[in-house]
Chains A and B, each alone.
Chain A
């Protein structure tokens, strides 16, 4: 059977099109598998629900010591702020002319405190605190904000169970809000 040249060209173009479509899904086979141990070593994310919080625990009393040694120089003896952010107080001020944003007044999730302290604090030696001390200093800061009692000991379960006062005050982006 004779095919007009234009038909052949169309068929060739069609096949070429399929090849391109298939290529979009094709892998380049670049990189190597990450092992569970490698992932465990690097994955320091704590979910806002407390997922991935490590074993261990720490209490307010131990936290007071860790705080005075590691945090007070920048954040003030009582969390009132200094070179570093203010950590304590400000509840009830967010709608005022001078809002004070702290862990207690603004942060929506308590596990974020563990996540941030462990990954980034103290600023001169991040990722140097033990998980127990991170639990402890988190407990102390929450205690300074009146969110846990003086004898509180926090672990993965109890830290995740704390309901932060400002949790429900975040809204999604409505912009453009000015036209």
Chain B
């Protein structure tokens, strides 16, 4: 980067730099230390933080991000009608790699977040089984364990109607990805002995919504898990502590949190959450039911809405892709408003039903541009445009919008939603 560009950046700090400076002042005030202007810390001066010892060991028994990262938090609307049945989004454009930090994993609750004592939590397995069983958390942890990396995505991410979000998080922040540890559901089912009439499993959470979904037995006997850990530590309360059903690739609400009961049945429950909600209304007035799988999708996170390119020349385009049907096979990026497409590099490992990071080197010539990405998964399904989806599903479909989302880059470098 040239000296001239560097100088320009310092004169016009980005929003992020502004937030960082604000956090520094707040942090300093909290510690009773005077706020220090940062100019004295640059070459040739010796930075303040080298002239005195830092914080002692034990300052943070459970670590927290730098005070300069205080702006990187969940994206929670301040104008929701109520907050007990609501969602909070992952700030995707602030993150790297494919793993979502536990504190930033998206949230969607239907009756608030319960505080559950694991010693008093039980999983009941009953219905069409030979041996109805009750498990403690200690029991669950005795089964052979597995760790797998999978995304979870809310089915309405985003909806089809305007206003469309400004940032990547506003648009598709209801997806996150973690390494989950737990046991295979089929091992637990084998313990009870499924009867041959059992075609569905009704799963129920121990929250105030007692959220209930019916899961086809094929999924339960395939890759479904009962998980108790997320990225190495026990599940966060917001993610179902102490036990969550994990259905890789299926819409988020089916991954029942605070799991307390599994009932083997011959027919689905047709619970409120699989009839009144989470069914997809078509323009002709019919509605699709049991629309489980999240189809292939991708989004460019850098540069993305709300960011600004600092000068012409080299910029890396980077984003994430995922599919509920398996691995991402290819991600294509267009920097000329969809006229031509280039194949992006996929960061290894490319895992089934996990976020996949893609990157493309790019030279920006300073002219206005529209950039976008499209994902192709191992079934050769190609991520559609919003216009293609709307033509079939209409604007009142609500769920499963996996549209390509283009970003407009203005000549001054500002990035905004090209479909707004």
Residues of A bordering B, CB below 8 Å: 25, 27-34, 38-39, 42-45, 47-48, 83, 94-95, 97, 99, 101, 103, 106-109, 112, 115-116, 119-120, 123, 126-127, 169-179
Additional A-B contact list (11), CB under 8 Å, known A34-B124, A107-B275, A173-B288: A27-B191, A28-B191, A39-B126, A42-B260, A103-B276, A108-B275, A109-B270, A112-B270, A119-B210, A170-B288, A171-B288
Cβ-defined contact, A172 with B290, below 8 A = yes
Task: Tell me which residues across on chain A come within 8 A of B110, comparing CB atoms.
Answer: 120
List, sorted by A's number, 21 A–B pairs whose CB atoms are closer than 8 Å: A27-B190, A31-B125, A31-B191, A34-B125, A38-B134, A43-B263, A45-B204, A83-B82, A94-B287, A95-B284, A101-B281, A123-B84, A126-B209, A127-B210, A170-B288, A170-B289, A171-B289, A173-B292, A175-B288, A175-B295, A179-B381
Cβ-defined contact, A120 with B124, below 8 A = no
Among the stretches B55-63, B349-357, B382-390, the one at the interface with A is B382-390
Cβ-defined contact, A120 with B384, below 8 A = no
Take A172-B290, A177-B393 as given contacts and tell me if A123 and B208 are in contact as well, using a CB distance cutoff of 8 Å: yes
Cβ-defined contact, B134 with A170, below 8 A = no
Take A34-B124, A48-B270, A176-B381 as given contacts and tell me if A112 and B287 are in contact as well, using a CB distance cutoff of 8 Å: no
Residues of B bordering A, CB below 8 Å: 81-82, 84-85, 110-111, 124-126, 131-135, 139, 142-143, 187, 190-191, 202, 204, 208-210, 212, 260-261, 263, 265, 267-272, 275-276, 279, 281-293, 295, 381-382, 384, 388-389, 391-393, 396, 400
Please, how many angstroms separate the alpha-carbon atoms of A167 and B265 in the complex?
21
Q: Which residue of B lies closest to A34 (CB)?
A: B132
Cβ-defined contact, A174 with B288, below 8 A = yes
Task: Tell me which residues across on chain B come within 8 A of A44, comparing CB atoms.
Answer: 204, 210
Q: Which residue of A lies closest to B123 (CB)?
A: A31
Task: Tell me which residues across on chain B come within 8 A of A175, comparing CB atoms.
Answer: 288, 291, 293, 295, 400
Cβ-defined contact, A176 with B290, below 8 A = no
CB contact between B135 and one of A31, A99, A127, A179 (< 8 Å): that residue: A31
Task: Tell me which residues across on chain B come within 8 A of A39, comparing CB atoms.
Answer: 124, 126, 132
Please, how many angstroms separate the alpha-carbon atoms of A170 and B274 in the complex?
11
Cβ-defined contact, A45 with B124, below 8 A = no
Cβ-defined contact, A123 with B111, below 8 A = yes
Please list the 10 inter-chain residue pairs (A to B) with the smallest Cβ-Cβ separation, ordered nearest first: A95-B285, A94-B285, A48-B270, A116-B272, A119-B210, A34-B132, A31-B133, A178-B384, A31-B135, A170-B289
Q: Which residue of A lies closest to B266 (CB)?
A: A47
Task: Tell me which residues across on chain A come within 8 A of B263, comparing CB atoms.
Answer: 43, 45
Task: Tell me which residues across on chain B come within 8 A of A32, comparing CB atoms.
Answer: 133-134
Please, how many angstroms separate the alpha-carbon atoms of A31 and B419 in the complex?
54
Please, how many angstroms separate the alpha-carbon atoms of A108 and B271 in the complex?
10
Q: Which residue of B lies closest to A106 (CB)?
A: B276
Cβ-defined contact, A177 with B289, below 8 A = no
Take A106-B276, A112-B272 as given contacts and tell me if A120 and B287 are in contact as well, using a CB distance cutoff of 8 Å: no
Task: Tell me which residues across on chain B come within 8 A of A31, comparing CB atoms.
Answer: 125, 133-135, 139, 191
Cβ-defined contact, B275 with A83, below 8 A = no
Cβ-defined contact, B269 with A30, below 8 A = no
Cβ-defined contact, A99 with B285, below 8 A = yes
Q: Which residue of A lies closest to B296 (CB)?
A: A176
Cβ-defined contact, A112 with B281, below 8 A = no
Cβ-defined contact, A115 with B272, below 8 A = yes
Q: Which residue of B lies closest to A95 (CB)?
A: B285
Cβ-defined contact, A28 with B143, below 8 A = yes
Take A48-B270, A119-B212, A170-B279 as given contacts and tell me if A30 and B289 are in contact as well, using a CB distance cutoff of 8 Å: no
Q: Which residue of B lies closest to A118 (CB)?
A: B210
Please, how many angstroms separate the alpha-carbon atoms of A172 and B216 in the complex?
13
Q: Nearest Cβ distance between residue B235 and chain A, in whole angstroms?
A: 20
CB contact between A28 and one of B187, B265, B289 (< 8 Å): that residue: B187
Please, how many angstroms separate the alpha-carbon atoms of A170 and B272 in the complex?
14
Task: Tell me which residues across on chain A come within 8 A of B269, comparing CB atoms.
Answer: 45, 47-48, 115
Q: Which residue of B lies closest to A32 (CB)?
A: B134
Q: Which residue of A lies closest to B402 (CB)?
A: A178
Find the residue from B110, B143, B269 having the highest chain A CB count within 10 A: B269
Please, how many angstroms separate the alpha-carbon atoms of A171 and B397 in the complex?
14
Task: Tell me which residues across on chain A come within 8 A of B282, comparing CB atoms.
Answer: 171
Task: Tell me which residues across on chain A come within 8 A of B288, comparing CB atoms.
Answer: 170-175
Find the residue from B270, B293, B392, B400 having the highest chain A CB count within 10 A: B270
CB contact between A30 and one of B143, B272, B384, B388 (< 8 Å): that residue: B143
Cβ-defined contact, A171 with B287, below 8 A = yes
Task: Tell me which residues across on chain B come within 8 A of A94, comparing CB atoms.
Answer: 281, 285, 287
Take A28-B191, A120-B111 as given contacts and tell me if A34 and B388 are in contact as well, using a CB distance cutoff of 8 Å: no
Please, how many angstroms separate the alpha-carbon atoms of A116 and B81 in the complex?
21
Q: Nearest Cβ distance between residue A107 and chain B, in whole angstroms?
A: 5
Cβ-defined contact, B286 with A171, below 8 A = yes
Q: Which residue of A lies closest to B192 (CB)?
A: A31
Please, how many angstroms separate the alpha-carbon atoms of A119 and B291 in the complex?
24
Please, how many angstroms separate the alpha-carbon atoms of A94 and B397 in the complex?
11
Task: Tell me which residues across on chain B come within 8 A of A123, comparing CB atoms.
Answer: 84-85, 111, 208
Task: Tell me which residues across on chain B come within 8 A of A83, comparing CB atoms.
Answer: 81-82
Please, how many angstroms separate the alpha-carbon atoms of A126 and B209 in the complex?
7
Please, how many angstroms separate the alpha-carbon atoms of A61 and B261 in the complex?
35
Take A99-B281, A119-B212, A178-B389 as given contacts and tell me if A30 and B135 are in contact as well, using a CB distance cutoff of 8 Å: yes
Task: Tell me which residues across on chain A come within 8 A of B287, comparing CB atoms.
Answer: 94, 106, 169-171
Task: Tell me which residues across on chain A come within 8 A of B270, comparing CB atoms.
Answer: 48, 108-109, 112
